[in-house]
Amino acid sequence: MNRTDIMEILPHRASMLLVDEAFKTGEHSASGKYTVRGDEWFLDGHFPGNPVVPGVILCEIMAQTCAVILADEVKGATPYFTGLNKVKFRRKVLPGDKLEISCDVTGSKASFYFAKAKANVCGNLVASAEFSFAIVREEGS
């Protein structure tokens, strides 16, 4: 699915929609891609003259990719981070890099979901994390 398809699932929009394409690869797994263009808002001050994608943005990219697995549950709701664990950043991610994400939902309890993800650039691991999130429907939805 492309960005337009992803916007039918996620509530994120321009400047915070950080997945170019994503695909469900199994019942509990997905992969996604994002190319760092170099003009993203988060690169402006991180760091002037030496732009590096912030780690928290890498976590967001991984989580947005994971939400594709739960498309039916996420549609019409908002997925909120509830925890990040075992987060590791191994290499810098720079403008021009093409991120490849793989993720798995590892469990759930009511509206809470648990997942793990890895981000690679050119086959090299750049980040990994375990995270949890809640899918929240606004009252009246």
Residue ranges of domains in the chain, CATH in brackets = 3-136 (3.10.129.10)
- What's the predicted TM-score (pTM) here? 0.93
Residue 70 CA to residue 79 CA, distance in Å, equals: 10
Active-site amino acid positions: 46
Contact 116, 103 (CB under 8 A): yes
Low-confidence ranges of the chain (pLDDT < 70): 140-141
How many alpha carbons lie under 13 Å from residue 113 in its C-beta half-sphere? Answer: 24
